[in-house]
Chains A and B, each alone.
Chain A
Amino acid sequence: MVTQRQPRRDDLLTSFEVASQPGNERVVLARVADAVAAFGLDGRQTRRLETAVAEAAMNAIEHGNREAATVPVEVEVFRSDGGVVVAITDQGGGGPSPADLPEPDLDLKLAGEQTPRGWGLFLIRHMVDSLWVTDHGPRHTVWLEMEVSPTSGAEGP
Chain B
Amino acid sequence: MIKPFAVSGHREAGSLVLHLVGDVDANAFDPLLGAYAKGTVGTSADEVVLDFTRVGYINSSGIAMIVSLLGRARADHRRVAAYGLSDHYRQIFEITRLSDFIDIRERPEEAAAEPRPRPS
- The reply to whether A51 and B65 form a contact with Cβ atoms under 8 Å apart is no
Partner of A44, one of B1, B59, B60, B88: B88
Q: Does A74 contact B (CB under 8 A)?
A: no
- The reply to whether A120 and B60 form a contact with Cβ atoms under 8 Å apart is yes
Partner of B96, one of A44, A54, A112, A119: A119
Residues 86 to 136 of chain A near chain B (Cβ within 8 Å): 104, 106, 109-110, 112, 115-120, 122-123, 126
Q: How distant is B54 from chain A, measured CB to nearest CB, in Å?
A: 17
Q: Does A66 contact B (CB under 8 A)?
A: no
- The reply to whether A110 and B59 form a contact with Cβ atoms under 8 Å apart is no
Binds A, one of B14-22, B43-51, B66-74: B66-74
Note all chain A residues with C-beta closer than 8 A to B57.
26
**Contact string against B for A residues 41-69, beta-carbon threshold 8 Å, 1 for contact and 0 otherwise:** 00010011001001100100000000000
Q: Classify the interface of chain A: helix, strand, loop or mixed.
A: helix
Note all chain B residues with C-beta closer than 8 A to A23.
2
Partner of B98, one of A106, A112, A117, A123: A106
Interface size class of chain A, counting residues whose CB lies under 8 Å from the partner chain: 20 to 34
Q: Does A30 contact B (CB under 8 A)?
A: yes
- The reply to whether A26 and B61 form a contact with Cβ atoms under 8 Å apart is no
Q: Does B30 contact A (CB under 8 A)?
A: no
Q: Count of A-B contacts with CB under 8 A? A: 58
Note all chain A residues with C-beta closer than 8 A to B6.
none
Q: How far is the CA of A51 from the CA of B80 in the complex (A)?
A: 25
Q: How distant is B36 from chain A, measured CB to nearest CB, in Å?
A: 14
Q: Name the residue of chain A whose CB is nearest to the CB of B94.
A: A126
Give A residues with C-beta under 8 Å from B.
22-23, 25-27, 30, 44, 47-48, 51, 54-55, 58, 104, 106, 109-110, 112, 115-120, 122-123, 126
User: Please, could you name 15 A-B residue pairs with CB atoms under 8 Å apart, sorted by A?
Assistant: A26-B2, A44-B87, A51-B59, A51-B92, A55-B59, A104-B96, A106-B101, A110-B67, A110-B70, A116-B65, A119-B63, A119-B96, A123-B63, A123-B92, A126-B95
